[in-house]
Amino acid sequence: MCGIFACHKHPEVHNFKPQALQLAKAIRHRGPDWSGNVIANDTILTHERLSIVGIDSGAQPLVNKEETLFLAVNGEIYNHRILRKQLKGDPHFKTHSDCEVILHLYPEHDINTPKLLDGMFSFVLYDKEKDRTIAARDPIGITSFYQGWSSKTPGAVYFASELKCLHPVCDKIISFPPGHVYDSATGKTTRYFEPTWWDGDRSPTNPIDYKLIRTTLEQSVRKRLMAEVPYGVLLSGGLDSSLIASIAARETAKARKAGVPVSNGATAQPNENVHVSELKHELVGIDDTGDLSTITALPELHSFAIGLVGSPDTIAARRAAEYLGTTHHEFNFTLQEGLDALRDVIYHLETFDVTTIRASTPMYLLSRKIKAMGVKMVLSGEGSDEVFGGYLYFHNAPSKAEFHKETVQRVKNLHLADCLRANKSTSAWGVEARVPFLDKQFLEVAMNIDPEEKLIKPGRIEKYILRKAFDTSDEPGAEPYLPDDILWRQKEQFSDGVGYGWIDVLKDTAEKMVTDEQMKNPKPEWGSDAPDSKEGYWYRCMFDEQFPAQCAPTVMRWTPKWSNATDPSGRAIESHAASYQKA
């Protein structure tokens, strides 16, 4: 992940530049490899770079040959090789960066440029000749992105990857809507992402196709291996991360078997050492066939897990890693280390949502360990529970129509929840998280399945169809993707799976930090958004200490549907206890 800060139409842009650079510095954790900036007319773009592709030549902001277009991007464009081939004429590329293709798409496709991109991204592009800025965010909001305005500079509009860049200068801030594009020429923000499943009131009818689910997810993982740096997988031992790890392990092995060059440019051999300074720089990305025609293979796949000592997730992750043959790294944290990190977690996450903070803290601690090992990119399993109704409260869905409607709503809100968690927990330490379950093509398949197939029925565990798609027990000679005890493992919320003591200590500490009187008389400025638990109250206070009031509307607080429980923990759902009692 990289970091962006930009301002269009600042009335005193040159005088503003020193402050703009300081604001950009606030997100240098997202891009510790290089800093860049450019001023054109009265617009300034700044960029903090994390180099993953085109590491020797992709410094930003990117500028076209004529020096009329300027671009700052946070993200990865997986289909950039295909897009390069489709460009008219003979465009001049200055870098090997996957993001530079956006500069050359814009003159041909204008405001429709984001529609063509397959990846995760947020970008700000400035057209000097037209004095025009367009900004866009990927379809689901995997990359964090915000837009702001200031009453002191009424004609200006600001953009940034995180709130901490904007609140010192903006008194109005929004989370930039995923799948949308902003055009300064009209002042409008319009939706460009229009998938067939977007209307949650329309219940799909497509029959289940297990092979299509499998092949589409495999393709999604394959394209996300586009990298010129060491990468790994986050492995909790649950279904989602274990499937991603399994596919990644297969793809890595396949690349080595085919003799694909490894990171140092040599033919892959067992136990080769890889050093960043030896990386081979080539154009990597999916080609016209949908395959990675050039992949920077690694000698081995690394997996990472974290939890309290003896936690459900670390035990299951160890089991999955042993089966998959990954080089596994297991880290333990103590309850006190988790508590000590909370304020920093809230600073980086920019939220006071209970679920997000609970789950983000272990992920934040793990990301620091991953960064220390020299790994810059990881694959993660976010999105599967939203797509397939994997959360335990889905057991209580009253109908297939309501089940589907809730999955659509959860996917639409991912940018305020799990995408925000994955993006900012890892970016806090200069690590990039990629999420294969949120691939556009995979969503088109999975979100159009008849929801009757997704319902949790007697004898059918949550996410049954996803598990079944990767169950090879009825395929003679096929190598299993996962052992049965992982493939059919009961769902754990991540904040539960790292160790039940984690949530317990958070509640116990909040009980000591917040009085009954405070709960009865919350801060007036919170209005109708007052926390409904002492834990939530505690987090909100820590948020308010670090962020002014204009940041709060960007936060979404979540509680499970179809349940009397107000606590978002999976253990609060009756089906969790019932399933374990049966076990």
Domain shared by 273 and 325, yes or no = yes
- Give the domain CATH number at 289: 3.40.50.620
CA–CA separation, 495 and 431 (whole Å): 21
pLDDT in tens, 123-174: 999 999 999 999 999 999 999 999 999 999 999 999 999 999 999 999 999 9
Position 351 scores a pLDDT of 98
| 205, part of any domain | no
Mean pLDDT of 39-52: 94
Nearest to 204 by CA among 405, 385, 412: 405
Domain shared by 568 and 497, yes or no = yes
Which of 163, 191, 219 is where one domain is finished? 191
- Choose the weakest-confidence range: 190-204, 229-243, 275-289, 553-567: 275-289
Q: Strand, helix or coil at 566?
A: coil
Domain shared by 123 and 218, yes or no = no
Higher-confidence position of 492 and 401: 401
- Choose the weakest-confidence range: 41-45, 336-340, 570-574: 570-574
Task: Write the DSSP string, 6-46.
Answer: EEES-TTHHHHHHHHHHHHHTTGGG-TTEEEEEEETTEEEE
CA–CA separation, 39 and 185 (whole Å): 19
pLDDT band with cut points at 50, 70 and 90 for residue 278: very low
CA–CA separation, 5 and 331 (whole Å): 34
Mean pLDDT of 504-529: 96
Mean pLDDT of 395-419: 97
pLDDT band with cut points at 50, 70 and 90 for residue 389: very high
pLDDT band with cut points at 50, 70 and 90 for residue 197: very high
Percentage of residues of the chain with pLDDT beyond 90: 80
Domain shared by 235 and 187, yes or no = no
Q: Is 366 annotated as a binding residue?
A: no
Nearest to 357 by CA among 293, 421, 412: 421
Domain shared by 221 and 162, yes or no = no
Give strand pairing partners of 579: none
Question: How much is the pTM?
Answer: 0.92
Domain shared by 180 and 243, yes or no = no
Q: Is 35 annotated as a binding residue?
A: no
Q: Is 335 annotated as a binding residue?
A: no
Domain shared by 184 and 252, yes or no = no
Q: Is 239 annotated as a binding residue?
A: no
| 16, part of any domain | yes
Domain shared by 133 and 277, yes or no = no
Please, what is the average pLDDT of the chain?
Answer: 90
Half-sphere exposure of 363 (CA within 13 A, CB side): 37
Nearest to 140 by CA among 174, 113, 179, 114: 179
Domain limits for position 68 = 3-191
- Choose the weakest-confidence range: 4-8, 167-171, 264-268, 314-318: 264-268
| 81, part of any domain | yes
Higher-confidence position of 380 and 566: 380
Domain shared by 216 and 187, yes or no = no
Residue with tokens 């008219």: 88
| 199, part of any domain | no
| 198, part of any domain | no
What are the catalytic residues? 2
pLDDT band with cut points at 50, 70 and 90 for residue 102: very high
Residue with tokens 């309850």: 335
The alpha carbon of residue 114 and the mean position of all alpha carbons in its chain are separated, in whole angstroms, by 18
Which of 191, 219, 236 is where one domain is finished? 191
Which of 156, 191, 226 is where one domain is finished? 191
Position 459 scores a pLDDT of 87
- Choose the weakest-confidence range: 258-272, 492-506, 542-556: 258-272
Q: Is the pLDDT of residue 308 over 70?
A: yes
Q: Which amino acid is at 552?
A: A
Mean pLDDT of 16-45: 97
Task: Write the DSSP string, 272-328.
Answer: ----GGG------EE-TTSSEEE--B-SS-EEEEEESTT-HHHHHHHHHHHHHT-EE
| 201, part of any domain | no
Domain shared by 28 and 163, yes or no = yes
Nearest to 492 by CA among 390, 574, 395: 390
Domain shared by 327 and 380, yes or no = yes
Nearest to 545 by CA among 569, 513, 508: 513
Position 575 scores a pLDDT of 52
| 202, part of any domain | no
- Rounded to 5 degrees, φ, ψ at 519 are -65, -35
Q: Is 380 annotated as a binding residue?
A: yes
CA–CA separation, 138 and 116 (whole Å): 11
- Computed from CA positions of residues 235, 314, 349, 51, in that sequence, does the dihedral angle turn out positive or negative? negative
pLDDT band with cut points at 50, 70 and 90 for residue 271: very low
pLDDT band with cut points at 50, 70 and 90 for residue 473: very high
- Choose the weakest-confidence range: 1-5, 192-196, 273-277, 437-441: 273-277
Mean pLDDT of 407-415: 97
Q: Is the pLDDT of residue 81 over 70?
A: yes
- Give the domain CATH number at 41: 3.60.20.10
Question: Beta strand 231-234 with 377-379: parallel, antiparallel or unpaired?
Answer: parallel
Our count of domains for the chain comes to 2
Domain shared by 161 and 288, yes or no = no
| 196, part of any domain | no
Q: Is the pLDDT of residue 580 over 50?
A: no
